[in-house]
Structure 1
């Protein structure tokens, strides 16, 4: 059983587990299923908008498929939630990604 299958099996038991959903999206990206990964991240964040680690990953994917405006919005939303949660590392990561997109 590969990692993606294992994650899906675990998600059958805990379908709203944000950590598992994030891991599944990363595996989907690694397998080249970018649109599926984007959809998984979007669904995760719709259910758990405070799961700040997914904003960076989703923003990167949106950049990769040529949607910089959506990536900017994603990074900005992530920054808002990271600030609320006091997650400085996530704030710095998201701000760097946003600055790079806006000013490079």
Structure 2
């Protein structure tokens, strides 16, 4: 079984060969989060979002990362934008996850806005 460092090395090598591969960037960001390397994960998530705004998974994970950094307004925007993309893609499961994330964040910050 591969350890986290080995996965990170392999994903980084793959990304060097294909720097525009959203899946590899996203996977690498998730592995970096497991090591609590929030800064590098954030850069990768933001890069995925910028180059591939239809990459649905990035909205939840980057939103949660922003929430973790107390960047609540940015997290809310990501959850809201991601919800819209999920609805456009007819991905009800992800839409519901993003809606729940937004409602949870709003509850914690006493904000009544919903989707």
TM-score for both structures, normalised by structure 2: 0.85
Tell me what 1:19 maps to.
23
Runs of 4+ in 1 over 6 A off after TM superposition: none
2:73 aligned with 1:88: no
The aligned runs of 1:14-93 (5 Å cut-off) are 14-93=18-97
- Mark the runs of 5 or more structure 2 residues left unpaired by the alignment: 109-115
Q: Answer 1 or 2: higher relative contact order, Cα 8 Å, separation at least 6.
A: 1
Equivalenced residue count is 104
TM-score for both structures, normalised by structure 1: 0.94
Tell me what 2:104 maps to.
100
Which has more radius of gyration?
A: 2
- Mark the runs of 5 or more structure 1 residues left unpaired by the alignment: none
Q: As a proportion of its length, which structure holds more helix?
A: 1
Give me the CA root mean square deviation. 1.1
